[in-house]
């Protein structure tokens, strides 16, 4: 354990570690222990509502009807919806009782979602669960300097320590949304940001969070070797001076680069199927005893994991491939269970990968926004001019975490574990492909000027592109946060609607570069406007927890053993509507070059995007065998150009008509 922070700003938990099974209620006591502005709105936050069955059906049907392939399928879907109120009435009552009873001080959904959506999923977290960010460069670091990676890493550790102190002392200002009326949003996820790690278990994983007043170290990875180093002063909890951080980081690199390439490495074990990793971890602990348990605790309890990758990517594509999975070279330089990992390359590129189980993207974006705002020149000035605030410590020690225990293990056992994890990881990586489409034609400025909401416009373009890719509309998921409710996470904004169906069918499978027919142009623009308005309206409803997917999931989970489920749950079109062949999410940030995640179904695509003022960037992932990623990149460009052509054609035609 690190030296405990003596500052009274850090309030000890009373326990070294809390192990979560996915129930936010179990760790809620820590919010009272920590206190501060961050958690000041928790007790007054509204609870996640249970929509009425009538409202859910009214919103569901227009998102599913376009996916019916025959009149017979359409008729069956409508009949299932007509029967649903009677068949689900008792289920609705049970769900309301769950909301008002056992989960009256929480969210009726959170435990189900955290467990069935994450901790019980046995797929590897890399590709399937985790998401990555790729950041813009620090303008104050010259790539010609001797060690730009150390400078960038020290900057980000310094900024991380500052942000972490605000979080763990509760002094971080609470998040709010809304331009005029400020609505607070739930802060519970921040407890799982630092000193946190997912732990593999058979059937269902757990999540460990460690008292940040006791565990002040961070973890550094280099060439698959893991080191512990100090990042904050034990008296204040403030970051160490940047020079002392650089010194320790340089030592980590020197040690790692001097180690034999034949030394065993454990990082790839975290990339396995969760049951396989659970068994492997148990095997390691049984063989390594207390020393192995202590080493794993040291790693898992670290404030954050910083990966110093021995690579020098340049393009968005190269950075995306590296930061998403580590790739075949640097995958061993990850511990995929850690809540947050920051990646730094030899040439000073930076990114982040986050484990998704207990914390959604927006708190991580808040953190990433902070650490990308801070520059190397700023932390150097702070360190030099505020020595009383940023004190150094005497003789900091860098610890090679697994050195002792690896030397005592049976090498054949470790070799077998390594080989098994490498086989599964290399297949996972080679089976997947990532494609970056950086569209420079226009962005949100043009969309707004034309009177369209940028996200809805982009979503409609994606509907057109995926319609042409798959030959039909497909289930489309857009994540929408519902953190305005206590312990809220996300709802689905469904991208398919009768309005988007009308638009894509009118546009057709083949792009038209120039629409010169005034009547056709006007019709298409009208359909585009209706489609974007419908999407924006659904997004607004989803943000108020008035979507359909979480409610329908909750009702289905209320069915008791031996009871018959409502007919809707066995309907083909219903199943098709939530088979997310297009999984989309928007994160538009000026200091993010790229971000992304994997597809959620084998015959689908992961489509992370950013709508910037003058450009749109798409990160498309898919199984390589499908060939979807490259094709979709081209189809997206076609769709955006065609839609711009429509708008410009209408403008030109209107000008001509006035002459």
Asked if residue 6 is part of any domain, the answer here is no
95 falls within a domain: no
Phi and psi torsions of 44, nearest 5°: -105, 5
Distance of CA 128 to the CA centre of its chain: 11
pLDDT at 656 (0 to 100): 47
What CATH number does the domain containing 205 carry? Answer: 3.30.559.70
Together in a domain, 215 and 285? yes
**pLDDT computed for residue 651 by the predictor:** 72
Mean pLDDT of the region 79-89: 98
> Residue 513: pLDDT above 90?
no
Q: Are residues 379 and 448 in the same domain?
A: no
Alpha-helical runs (H) found in 49-70:
53-64
- Count of the separate structural domains present in the chain: 2
Q: Is residue 39 part of a domain?
A: no
- At 389, the pLDDT band (50, 70, 90 cuts) reads confident
Same-domain status, 410 and 462? no
- Average pLDDT of the chain is 96
Rg (CA), the chain: 26
Query: Rounded mean pLDDT of 555-562?
Result: 97
**435 in Cβ contact with 610 (< 8 Å):** no
Question: Angle, nearest 10°, between helix axes 242-258 and 376-385?
Answer: 120
Distance CA 654, CA 658 (A): 6
* Together in a domain, 496 and 426: no
CATH number, position 620: 3.30.559.10
CA pair distance 142, 148, nearest whole angstrom: 7
Mean pLDDT calculated for residue range 101-111: 98
- Residue 71 in domain: no
Q: Looking at residues 34-56, what average pLDDT do you find?
A: 97
Give the number of other CB atoms < 10 A from CB of residue 271.
27
The 10s digit of each residue's pLDDT in 527-548 is: 999 999 999 999 999 999 999 9
Whether residue 495 is predicted with pLDDT greater than 50 in this model: the reply is yes
Q: Which of 395, 411, 432 is the C-terminal boundary of a domain?
A: 432
pTM reported for the whole predicted model: 0.96
Same domain, 318 and 445: no
Residues 413 and 447 occupy one common structural domain: no
**Confidence at 70, pLDDT banded by 50, 70, 90:** very high
Residue at 325 is within a domain: yes
449 lies in the same domain as 398: no
Residue-level pLDDT at 652: 61
Averaged over 598-627, what is the pLDDT? 98
Quote the pLDDT of residue 659. 41
pLDDT at residue 552 above 50? yes
Residue 517 domain flag: yes
Q: Is residue 50 part of a domain?
A: no
Q: Are strands 476-481 and 582-586 parallel, antiparallel or unpaired?
A: parallel
DSSP state at residue 582: E
User: Average pLDDT for residues 499-524, to the nearest whole number?
Assistant: 89
Supply the residues annotated as catalytic: 356
Instruction: Give the span between the Cα atoms of 494 and 502, in whole angstroms.
Output: 16
| 386-392 LR contacts (CB < 8 Å, sep 24+) | 387/241, 389/236, 389/238, 390/233, 390/238, 390/239, 390/240, 390/241, 391/233, 391/235, 391/236, 391/238, 391/240, 391/241, 392/233, 392/240, 392/241, 392/243, 392/244
Same domain (yes/no): 332, 462: no
The fraction of the chain above a pLDDT of 90, given in percent, is: 91
End residue of a domain, out of 367, 402, 432: 432
CA-CA distance, 599 to 495, in Å (whole number)? 16
Pick from 300, 308, 301: nearest CA to 351: 308
Q: What is the mean pLDDT of residues 297-323?
A: 98
Is 84 a member of any domain? no
Spatial contact of 644 and 442, defined as CB atoms under 8 Å apart: yes
Left if phi > 0, otherwise alpha if psi is -120 to 50, otherwise beta: which for 480?
beta
Q: Are residues 635 and 575 in the same domain?
A: yes
Question: According to the model, what pLDDT value does residue 145 have?
Answer: 78
In the structure, what pLDDT confidence band is assigned to residue 516 with cuts at 50, 70 and 90? confident
Residue 517 pLDDT grade (very low, low, confident, very high; cuts 50, 70, 90): confident
Residues 368-377 have a mean pLDDT of 98
Are the beta carbons of 65 and 80 closer than 8 angstroms?
no
Judge if 532 and 627 occupy the same domain. Answer: yes
Where does a domain end: 392, 411, 432? 432
Find the mean pLDDT for residues 567-595. Answer: 98
CA nearest to 220, candidates 191, 193, 247, 189: 247
Element (H, E) at 438: strand 432-439
CB-based contacts of 260: which residues, under 8 Å, 6+ apart? none
The reported pLDDT for the residue numbered 1 is 54
Using 50, 70 and 90 to split pLDDT, how confident is the model at 180? confident
Q: Rounded to a whole number, what is the distance in angstroms from the first to the last CA of the chain?
A: 79
* Domain membership of residue 461 as a residue range: 440-658
Tell me what percent of the residues of the chain surpass a pLDDT of 70.
98
Verify that 478 and 612 share a domain, yes or no.
Answer: yes
Residues 246, 353: one domain? yes
């Amino acid at each position: 354990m690190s030296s405990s922070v003596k500052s009274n700003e850090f309030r000890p938990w009373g326990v070294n570690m809390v192990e979560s099974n996915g129930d936010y209620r179990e760790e809620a006591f820590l919010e009272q222990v920590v206190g501060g502005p961050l958690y000041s709105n928790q007790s007054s936050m509204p609870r996640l509502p249970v929509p009425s069955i009538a409202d859910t059906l009214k919103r569901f049907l227009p998102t599913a009807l376009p996916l019916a392939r025959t009149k017979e399928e359409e008729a069956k879907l409508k009949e299932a919806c007509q029967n649903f109120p009677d068949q689900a009435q008792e289920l609705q009552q049970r769900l309301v009782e769950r909301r008002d009873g056992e989960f009256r001080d929480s969210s009726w959904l959170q435990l189900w979602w955290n467990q069935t959506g994450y901790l019980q999923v046995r797929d590897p977290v890399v590709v399937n669960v985790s998401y990555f960010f790729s950041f813009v460069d620090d303008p104050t670091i010259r790539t010609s300097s001797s060690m730009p990676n150390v400078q960038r890493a020290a900057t980000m550790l310094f900024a991380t320590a500052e942000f972490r102190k605000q979080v763990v002392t509760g002094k971080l200002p609470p998040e709010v949304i809304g331009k005029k009326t400020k609505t607070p949003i739930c802060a519970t996820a921040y407890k799982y940001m630092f000193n946190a790690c997912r732990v593999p278990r058979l059937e269902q994983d757990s999540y460990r969070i460690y008292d940040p007043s006791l565990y002040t170290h961070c973890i550094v990875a280099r060439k698959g070797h893991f080191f512990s180093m100090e990042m904050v002063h034990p008296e204040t909890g403030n970051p160490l001076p940047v020079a002392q951080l650089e010194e320790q980081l340089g030592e980590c690199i020197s040690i790692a680069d001097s180690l034999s390439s034949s030394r065993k490495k454990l990082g790839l074990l975290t990339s396995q199927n969760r049951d396989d990793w659970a068994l492997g971890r148990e095997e390691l602990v049984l063989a390594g005893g207390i020393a192995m348990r202590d080493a794993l605790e040291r790693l898992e309890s670290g404030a954050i994991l910083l990966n110093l990758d021995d690579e020098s990517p340049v393009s968005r594509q190269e950075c995306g491939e590296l930061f998403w999975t580590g790739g075949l070279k640097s995958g061993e330089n990850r511990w995929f269970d850690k809540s947050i990992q920051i990646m730094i390359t030899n040439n000073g590129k930076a990114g982040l990968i986050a484990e998704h189980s207990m914390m959604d993207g927006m708190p991580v974006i808040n953190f990433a926004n902070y650490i990308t705002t801070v520059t190397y020149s700023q932390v150097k000035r702070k360190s030099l001019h505020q020595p009383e605030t940023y004190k150094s410590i005497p003789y900091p020690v860098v610890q090679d975490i697994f050195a002792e225990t690896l030397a005592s293990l049976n090498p054949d056992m470790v070799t077998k574990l390594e080989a098994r994890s490498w086989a599964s990881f290399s297949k996972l990586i080679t089976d997947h492909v990532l494609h970056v489409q950086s569209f420079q034609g226009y962005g949100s400025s043009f969309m707004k000027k034309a009177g369209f909401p940028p996200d809805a416009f982009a979503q409609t373009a994606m509907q057109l592109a995926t319609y042409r890719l798959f030959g039909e509309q497909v289930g489309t998921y857009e994540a929408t946060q519902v953190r305005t409710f206590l312990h809220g996470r996300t709802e689905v904004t469904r991208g398919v609607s009768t309005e988007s169906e009308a638009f894509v069918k009118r546009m057709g499978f083949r792009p038209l570069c120039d629409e010169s027919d005034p009547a056709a142009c006007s019709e298409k623009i009208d359909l585009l406007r209706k489609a974007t308005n419908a999407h924006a309206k659904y997004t607004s409803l989803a943000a108020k927890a008035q979507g359909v997917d979480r409610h329908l999931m909750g009702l289905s989970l209320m069915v008791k053993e031996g009871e018959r489920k409502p007919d809707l749950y066995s309907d083909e079109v219903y199943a098709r509507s939530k088979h997310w062949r297009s999984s989309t999410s928007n994160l538009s940030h000026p200091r993010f070059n790229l971000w992304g995640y994997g597809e959620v179904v084998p015959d689908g695509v992961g489509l992370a995007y950013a709508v910037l003022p003058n450009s749109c960037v798409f990160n498309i992932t898919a199984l390589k065998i499908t060939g979807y990623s490259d094709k979709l990149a081209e189809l997206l460009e076609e769709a955006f150009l065609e839609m711009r052509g429509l708008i410009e054609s209408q403008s030109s035609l209107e000008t001509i008509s006035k002459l």
